[in-house]
Structure 1
Amino acid sequence: MASAAAEDANCRTTTGTQDFYPGPSAGETYDSTFHNSVAVPPGLYSGGFVPQGLAYWNDWDGTSEDVLLISAYHSSGSGASAIWGIALSGPRRGESLGHMLIPNTHAGGIVVTGGHVYVSGEGGVKYWSTATVRAELAGANTNKVIQPKGTQDIAGKGSFLGLGGGEGTTLWTGDFSDTSHESMWQYSTSSTGALTYTGKKRWVPAKTQGMAVVGDKYIFATSYGRDKRSNVWVRPTSYETDITDGTAFCMRAPSMMEGLAYGNSNGNEHVWALFESGAEPYVSDPNTLNKITNIHWADGSELAGLYGQGD
C-alpha cells in the first residue's frame, strides 16, 4: 500500500473566519463550502453512544419526510450498538426519531438501499429490512436488541460504507489505515438483502472514515486523532490508479469527521458529514480541536466541482 506521509501537505490549508462550528477554522475552503445542518440527537450522547456512520433515507415513511440515520457504537465497548434517526425535512425537521438497538459492533458505516439497512464492522455487514427499522424508529424505542435479518462476511474490515451511486442498488465498503492507502470494494444488493461482489475495487486515502458518490466523483472523509484536522477528498470515479495529488482534490476539515451521506432532499442535492467529537470522551477533552454536535452539509455539485482546482 502507498504511504500517506505527504497527504496533508497536499490539502488546502488556508484558514478562514468560520463561525458555524466550535474551535479553530479548519480551512477557508471548508468554511465556505459546508454549512450547519440538523443536530445529532442529544440522547445519543447521553446514552453513551459514539456516532460513526451516516445514511440518507428519502421519504422514509410515505409522508415525504426525509431522515438521516446514524450508526453508533456504545462507549462501554460491550453494550449494544444503535441506529439513530433524525428528521431532515418537513415540520419535524431536526427532531430525533430515537433509536433501534442492534447487536454490538463498531458500526463504522450505514447505508439504506434495496429495501434494507446495512451496518458494517469487524469484516462483515448486518442488515435489516427497511420495514423493520421504520417500525422500530416509529415505535416506543424499547431497550430490546433487534437481531438482523442477515449477516454476511465482506472483503476487508468493513470500516465504512457508502452508497454506490448511479443506476441500480450498490454499496461500497472499505478499510481504514492511519498509515497507508487502502481499498474499497463494490457490492450489489438483492431482494433478500444478500450482497454480491461486483468485481470493482478502488483505492481510498489513508484514514478514510466515510465516503459518498456524487455523479462521477468519489468524496472521501479522512481523519485520525482528536487533535488533528480531518480532510475531504474529491476524485473522479473513472480513476483506477492509486491516489496522488494530481488525481484528487483535497481540503482540510474540522477534526474527527466520520461518515458521509449523499441525497436529494426537498430538491436539494446535499452531501452531509458527521463528526464523533461531540461524544465522550472527546467533548470533555481540551485537546479536541473541534467539538461538533451538528451534522454539516455541502451542495453536492459544488463539492464535486472542486476537483480540478488547485490544492
Structure 2
Amino acid sequence: MRLSMTRRRVALTLGLAGVLAAGTATTVALKGPSQPAAAATVAATRAISCDTKAGGKHFYDGPSASKKYDTRFSNSAALPKLGSYVPQGIGTWWNWSGKKDLLLVTMYHTGKQSLIVGIDPATNKVVGDVAIAETHGGGITTSMGWAFVQGSTNGIRKYKLSTLAAAMKKAGTPYVKAVGSERKVYGASFLTSYGDSLWSGKFNKDGRDKMYEYKIKSNGTLVTVNKAWEVPTKTQGLLVTKTHFVYSTSYGRDKLSNLYVVRRGQPDLDKAKLSCFRAPSMSEGITEYGGRAYLVFESGSYPYRSDKTTKNVITRLHKASISSLTSLA
C-alpha cells in the first residue's frame, strides 16, 4: 500500500494505530480443510490488544517499534542482493554440510526466477544461493530430508536436501528443480515445521484466517491433520516451538508490524493465552535456531528502501532469544 506520508507524519499516527491494534478482527470456521476456492465462514470477534509502548534507545532505522521489541531483539546477518530481490521466508537447515547449519532465506523479483540464499549463522556470512522457479516464496522450511517452499498461493513445492546441498556448494547460482508437482493446501502464504509436522496457512489483510498441520512422510508427502488453527490478521511468518506459536504480522510500508506469542493448545485466538507487541515495519518470515528467533524484513529491499513512507528500513536479520518471547505468554 502506497501512502504519501512523510516519516514524521506517519509517526504522529502511532497513537491511533495503537488503538486500532490488529484492525477489525474476524475469525473463520475451524473445522475441515476447506478447498482454496471455498468461501470462509466469518464472524465478528474482539480485537486483540497489542503493546505499543515505545522503547528508548533502539538499534534500527526509523522510530522505535516498542520497548518489548527493542529490549529483546538485536542485529544479526546482513541480507544480500537487496538491490534486486525482496526477502520473504526464512527457515533453518540443520547439518547441511557435516555439522554446519544454515539459515535459508527465500527472495523474489517479479518476472524472474526466485532465490534461496544460505547464510551461516555462526559467521553471518552468505555460503551460497540457488535459483528456483518463480514464486513469492512466503515460507521455507526443512524436515525429513526435504526443503518445502511456497509455490503458488495455495501450493507447497518440495526439494531434495541432497540436491539442494550439492547446488549450494557450486559457484554461481545454479537452478534447482522441485520434485513432482506442488501439494495443494488451504494456504501457503507462510509455512514452517516442527519435528515431523509442517504448518502452513493463509495471509488475510482484512481479518483472521487459519492454518493447518501436515504430517511429513519420508518421501515428502504431506498428510493433512484435520484441525484448523486460527491465525492473526496479516500473518506473514510463523515459528513453532513445543509450547508456543510466534506469528509475524504486517501489511504496508508505513505501518508497524506486530509479533504475537500464542501458547499452543487452543485453536481459537480469543480463548488462547497470548501476548502481542509492535515490531518494525514490513516483518516477514521467522525461524528458530540455537535457542534464538531470527526475523526477516522486506523493507530494506529495492522497492521500499528509498521511499520516505517506509517507516523502518531494515537490511539485516534481527534475532532474539526464544525464551524472552515465550515467557510473555
Range into which the TM-score falls when normalised by the shorter chain: 0.7 to 0.9
1:135 partnered with 2:166: yes
Task: Indicate yes or no: 2:95 matched with 1:59.
Answer: yes
Q: How big is each residue's C-alpha offset from its partner over 1:154-201, in whole Å with a ceiling of 9 and x where there is no partner?
A: 3223101011x3xx4111010001111000011111222121112232
> 56, 73, 88: which is aligned to 2:108?
73
| 1:112-191 mapped onto 2 (5 Å cutoff) | 112-122=142-152, 123-142=154-173, 144-163=174-193, 165=194, 168-191=195-218
Distance 1:277 1:34 in 2: 17
The amino acid that maps onto 1:78 is G
Output one character per residue of 1:109-137: Cα deviation in whole Å (capped at 9) or x when no partner: 00011111110142111111111111111
Letter in 1 for 2:155: G
CA distance in 2, matches of 1:244, 1:287: 33
Q: Is the 8 A contact 1:236 1:248 kept in 2?
A: yes
Q: Give the partner amino acid of 1:35.
A: S
> Structure 2 CA distance, aligned partners of 1:86 and 1:7?
37
2:218 corresponds to which letter in structure 1?
S
Equivalent in 294, 313, 324 of residue 291 of structure 1: 313
1:304 equivalent to 2:326? Answer yes
Deviates more, 1:220-229 or 1:96-105: 96-105
The number of equivalent residue pairs is 288
Q: What secondary structure is seen at the aligned counterpart in 1 of 2:71? A: helix
2-structure distance, mates of 1:149, 1:258: 26
Of residues 62, 73, 79, the one that matches 1:23 is 62
Distance (Å, rounded) in 1 between the aligned partners of 2:224 and 2:241: 21
Gaps of 5+ in 1: none
What's the TM-score once normalised by structure 1's chain length? 0.88
8 Å contact 1:150–1:193 — kept in the other structure?
Answer: no
Alignment RMSD (CA, Å): 1.8
SS of aligned partner of 2:229? strand
1:13 aligned to which of 52, 56, 64: 52
1:225-236 alignment runs, 5 A limit: 225-236=252-263
Question: Partners of 2:44 and 2:58 in 1: how far apart?
Answer: 31
Change (3 A) 1:304 1:4: farther
Give the SS at the match of 2:96. Answer: coil
Q: How does 1:255-266 map to 2 (within 5 A)?
A: 255-264=281-290
Question: Is 1:248 equivalent to 2:278 in the alignment?
Answer: no
Q: Which amino acid aligns with 2:96?
A: W
| 3-state SS, counterpart of residue 151 of structure 1 | coil
Letter in 2 for 1:53: G
Cα offsets for 1:48-95 (capped at 9, x unmatched): 111110001122100x22211001111xx2110110111111xxx121
TM score, norm. by length of structure 2: 0.83
List aligned pairs for 1:191-206, cutoff 5 A: 191-206=218-233
